Amino acid sequence: MSMRNWLTKYSYLIRIVMSITCMLCIPALLFGFGVISQSYQEMMQRNEEYYYEAANTFMQYFDRQIDNLRVHAMSMALDKSGIRDMNSKIDRELLESNPYYFTEAINALTVYQLSLPYISEMGIYFEGADYVVTSRYKYALDDFLSVYSKGSDSVREKLADFFQRVKDNGVQYFSSFGDLSVSNADLMIGVPINFTNQGRVLVFYMMQSDSINMSFYGSRDSALMKYYIFRNDNLMYTNDVAAALINEPAFETFLQNPGESIYRSEEQEGGYTAFKVDDPLQEMTYLSVVPVDAVEQNLRTFYQVIRNSSILILFGFLGMLILTIYINYRPIRKLMNHMGMRGSSRVGNEISTIEEEFGRMEEEASEQRILLMDYLLGNLLYGIPISRERAGHLDDSLLGENFCVITLAGVRLDAQEREELADSILKSSNTKVYITEILLKGYIVLICVISNPDVLPKITKTVREFFRNCPECRIGVGDIVNDLNDVHDSYLNSVSAMENAGSIEGSFQSLSLGLGDDYPADKISQFLQYVQNGEESDALHTLEDITCYLEEKVKTKLLQRYICYDLLTAYIRSVNTTGYGFTKWETEQLISNSDMAGLKVSLEASVAKVCAFIKRNKEESYHTLEKQIMEYVNQNFMDTEFCRTQIAEHFGVSVYAISRLFKDSMGIGLKEYVTAKRIELAREILLTTDKTIVQISNEVGFANPDYFSKVFKANYGVSPSKFRSDSQEEQFV
């Protein structure tokens, strides 16, 4: 074999070997690249854990200080040795008797403050007084408000309200950090207490931006840390003089979102990171804010250098890989582009993607056909005319000359059992069968397309053998009809036969008398079926036919009365099965008639009430089933295997019935609804997470990411990745 022939024979093998050779070099580089990235991420995580713990420690520290202040304030009210002398200097009557004693009170407060080095000033306010005494000075209340409000009316109002809370219990807070510059702001912590014979007193402590001592950390970067305290989303305290954090628009969203604990500054260089801890009992939020330190910045620089170097090294290998892919997969790529599957989010190889696309196209075509076939079968069973041409477009077998309906009750069939039953009938009698059901009545309906009427006994036998182990099953076989639009009549006959199966005396006792044509058995059967279905107009029309029949063909009054009695008995028995309860007056109206004319009038009134009752029950049951199906769909639509057959098996009905019910309820097909739900969920995930397109596709129920991208673009005009990037740009504008 020549070299040329050998290369031609094994050309595909050679291309595969070249591809593998190229790819063997890449994992080693990717491994090193991944190790560096993982190390970087671990370092970042350790830093975050440290600073988050710092925020938690700061919260505990501040809570302890508040507890200390509460104990400190309460100690002023104690009446025991060592404190009594100092308390006597803060006696209200003594202070107000001579201004000299205010000096003694100021000295006493100064002594009290010595044990609180982080407090810039301490003071007291007696309930209803017009003055305030601090460890520095005695102020008139109005002067105190003016000095510490720094000329701000809103701050003055809040401070005045703070002193009014002397009547309250528990620790009280006043802060001007949210209104004034941090360097001029104050945090006042008030503790209302009772002084003996002096009423309510508000002991308050003042903190400024430099009050908190950070030395208790004793660890790295403690001097660089800044701390914030928010109460009900309002800034209560911070030692960050610049306080640039609160000016960023995204920070407010972060502060109000309990699910976020880390906030990164919008600045790329020289920015800072905030770590949040919530105290729900005190309704406070604590933040530790740290600048991006030099170590982290150097780590970022090192990471960027290594990454860029790796990318440069990969370029040579990528060139070879691209050339290999171009040589090997160009024909497949052209096919995929022709089919509209242009995307890089594909999972699996190209061949499997093409197979999935063909399967999806076949599934869509099948679903459309199911919807049309459901429409056709539903109309046939309810007597709505269908043209032969229209039926032939869906299935040529519907152009057959003979049709028969078999109705089953007392059984449930899943999708697999329906297929087995249809296959059994096809094999035994060469008859095609469409299986659907009448919702809410529990009837399974077999519409048989019969080429030879003689095979009907064989079909019936096959059905009975199929359900031989189900004693509750009742089977009714309708008449063979020659026209497709007469299927409704065959259905009514089958229901009548099914309901009469096993009855000793049958529906109509007169059939045993051999009256033949003098007895309108078929008309009475149709009348009763219309009533049970709640079809008032059809029932009244059939009742009119029965009346005319008796007048024209039944000559003797005795026989007419007997048939009327039989009709009335069958009507009452049939209505009782629907759950409708006759009143005493209704029963008397029905049985008081001696001829058909009077009975007809009574039946017309009764039929209107019974049909209205049945319709209401149907609507309620129908809405209940609709709700159950909608809940099931909304709970399971994210399953990639979710389909109409799954719903049908869960509720024990056919795919035809599911399609009909969903279409009636929502106005759109199940496929369109599920797709819309998946696309809407995908939109929310795109806007709120950083998950990949493949992850989102699988999460919302699309097995093929390319198809997901295609459907998403059809709904929003852009691809999922483009939609996400555009949304992020709008947020930062």
> CA 423, CA 466: separation in Å to the nearest integer?
11
> CA 493, CA 526: separation in Å to the nearest integer?
8
pLDDT of residue 510: 40
Q: How far is CA 222 from the centre of its chain?
A: 45
Tokens of 509: 């006792």
Position 263 in a domain: yes
Using left for φ > 0, alpha for ψ between -120 and 50, and beta otherwise, residue 79 falls in beta
Position 497 in a domain: yes
pLDDT of residue 346: 44
Q: Kindly state whether residues 714 and 586 are assigned to the same domain.
A: no
Residues 316/31, Cβ–Cβ less than 8 Å: no
Contacts (Cβ under 8 Å, ≥6 apart) of 241: 182, 183, 209
Tokens of 728: 């992020």
Position 180 in a domain: yes
Q: Kindly state whether residues 139 and 228 are assigned to the same domain.
A: yes
Tokens of 448: 């048989």
Q: Kindly state whether residues 200 and 277 are assigned to the same domain.
A: yes
pLDDT of residue 144: 92
> CA 394, CA 626: separation in Å to the nearest integer?
27
pLDDT of residue 295: 47
Furthest C-alpha separation in the chain: 130
| Exposed / middle / buried, residue 686 (Cβ in 10 Å: 0-12, 13-18, 19+) | buried
Position 726 in a domain: yes
Q: Which residues pair with 30 in a beta bridge?
A: none
Q: Which of 292, 197, 185 is nearest to 239 (CA)?
A: 185
Q: Which of 120, 127, 112, 131 is nearest to 188 (CA)?
A: 120
Q: Which residue has the tokens 């975050």?
A: 48
Q: Kindly state whether residues 279 and 173 are assigned to the same domain.
A: yes
Give Cα separations from 655 to 368, 375, 435, 631, 678 (angstroms): 12, 12, 10, 17, 21
| Domain ranges, residue 180 | 55-295
Backbone angles phi, psi at 655, to 5 degrees: -65, -30
> CA 465, CA 461: separation in Å to the nearest integer?
6
Q: Kindly state whether residues 588 and 724 are assigned to the same domain.
A: no
pLDDT of residue 12: 45
Q: Which of 280, 295, 310 is the C-terminal boundary of a domain?
A: 295
> CA 450, CA 430: separation in Å to the nearest integer?
8
Residue type, 652: G
Task: Say what the alpha-carbon torsion angle 636, 697, 45, 225 is, to the nearest 10 degrees.
Answer: -90
pTM: 0.41
What is the total count of domains within the chain?
Answer: 3
pLDDT of residue 442: 72
Residues 172/202, Cβ–Cβ less than 8 Å: yes
Residue type, 647: I
Residue type, 200: R
Residues 182/202, Cβ–Cβ less than 8 Å: no
Q: If you ran DSSP here, which 8-state letter would residue 398 be given?
A: G
Position 666 in a domain: yes
CATH number at residue 542: 3.30.70.600
CATH number at residue 664: 1.10.10.60
Q: Kindly state whether residues 91 and 238 are assigned to the same domain.
A: yes
Residues in the chain where the model's pLDDT stays below 70: 1-37, 39-40, 78-88, 196, 213-224, 266-270, 292-303, 306-307, 309-310, 313-314, 316-385, 387-400, 439-440, 500-519, 656, 730-733
> CA 409, CA 4: separation in Å to the nearest integer?
73
pLDDT of residue 391: 67
Q: Which of 412, 376, 578 is nearest to 488 (CA)?
A: 376
Task: For the chain, give the number of residues.
Answer: 733
Q: Kindly state whether residues 145 and 261 are assigned to the same domain.
A: yes
Q: Which residues pair with 596 in a beta bridge?
A: none
> CA 701, CA 634: separation in Å to the nearest integer?
12
Q: Which of 268, 295, 322 is the C-terminal boundary of a domain?
A: 295
Q: Kindly state whether residues 592 and 605 are assigned to the same domain.
A: yes
Q: Which of 502, 406, 476 is nearest to 447 (CA)?
A: 406
Q: Kindly state whether residues 400 and 520 are assigned to the same domain.
A: yes
Strands 262-264 and 272-279: antiparallel
Q: How many beta carbons lie within 10 A of that of residue 222, not counting itself?
A: 12
> CA 278, CA 209: separation in Å to the nearest integer?
21
Position 305 in a domain: no
Helix (H, G, I), strand (E, B) or coil at 237: strand
Position 38 in a domain: no
Q: Which of 165, 187, 161 is nearest to 174 (CA)?
A: 187
Residues 479/460, Cβ–Cβ less than 8 Å: no
Q: How far is CA 417 from the centre of its chain?
A: 33
Residues 498/532, Cβ–Cβ less than 8 Å: no
Position 301 in a domain: no
Backbone angles phi, psi at 260, to 5 degrees: -105, 135
Q: Kindly state whether residues 592 and 651 are assigned to the same domain.
A: no
Residues 613/621, Cβ–Cβ less than 8 Å: no
Q: Kindly state whether residues 644 and 729 are assigned to the same domain.
A: yes
Residues 673/662, Cβ–Cβ less than 8 Å: yes
Which tens digits make up the pLDDT trace of 242-269? Answer: 877 787 888 888 888 888 888 887 665 5
Radius of gyration of the chain (CA): 43
Give Cα separations from 23 to 12, 16, 72, 342, 397 (angstroms): 17, 11, 73, 23, 56
Backbone angles phi, psi at 133, to 5 degrees: -110, 125
- Strand residue runs (E) in 410-519: 432-438, 443-450, 474-477
Backbone angles phi, psi at 229, to 5 degrees: -125, 125
Residue type, 407: T
Q: Which of 258, 273, 295 is the C-terminal boundary of a domain?
A: 295
Q: Kindly state whether residues 165 and 64 are assigned to the same domain.
A: yes
